[in-house]
């Protein structure tokens, strides 16, 4: 006679899997709420919108580049489009407060500045504002981290901290 599994054993295994699933769900929800409310991470809001067809004619995106806006404060107006950033090279002094004001003219792009915690999305029709400080002199690669088409791999720039 072959051994068969007792029905109570199957019920016990099913209950264990249900408990594990519930614990994992609560853990993931807890992590989500902590990151959203405890750490202040959130999706970009729709406060600043821009007409995608008129980006290049709308200030400040009609003149992308780096500007000094105060004592040791700089503003970088950045455009992303298939498959480049404008400006491609950004120079700022070490220790300066830098505010990126950015958007895209076509599809979703991402901006990741390697070696830093700066990472943000460029969504058509929305203006992204991100502040940061580059403490040490050096060169950082700025890459698109959202797949944006066939030329995605050539979409990069540089942030040079002097």
pLDDT per residue as tens digits for the range 115-132? 998 899 999 989 999 999
Q: What are phi and psi of 148, to 5 degrees?
A: -125, 15
Which pLDDT belongs to residue 5? 64
User: First CA to last CA across the chain, in angstroms?
Assistant: 81
Which pLDDT belongs to residue 4? 61
Nearest of 120, 82, 81 to residue 101 by alpha carbon: 120
Which pLDDT belongs to residue 7? 67
Distances (CA, A) of 146 to 14, 115, 123, 156: 40, 18, 11, 12
Contact 63, 72 (CB under 8 A): no
Point out the residues of the chain with pLDDT beneath 50.
1
Contact 124, 149 (CB under 8 A): no
């Amino acid at each position: 006679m072959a051994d068969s599994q007792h029905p109570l054993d199957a019920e016990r295994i099913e209950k264990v899997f249900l408990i594990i699933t519930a614990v994992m769900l609560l853990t993931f929800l807890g992590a989500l709420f902590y990151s959203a409310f405890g750490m202040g991470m959130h999706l970009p809001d729709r406060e600043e919108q821009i007409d995608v067809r008129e980006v290049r004619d709308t200030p400040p995106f009609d003149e992308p580049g780096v500007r000094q806006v105060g004592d040791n404060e700089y503003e970088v107006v950045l455009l992303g489009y298939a498959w480049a950033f404008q400006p491609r090279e950004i120079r700022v002094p070490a220790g300066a407060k830098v505010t990126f004001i950015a958007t895209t003219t076509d599809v979703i792009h991402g901006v990741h500045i390697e070696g830093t915690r700066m990472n943000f999305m460029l969504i058509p029709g929305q203006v992204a504002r991100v502040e940061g400080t580059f403490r040490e002199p050096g060169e950082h690669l700025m890459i698109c981290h959202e797949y944006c088409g066939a030329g995605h791999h050539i979409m990069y720039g540089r942030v040079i901290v002097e």
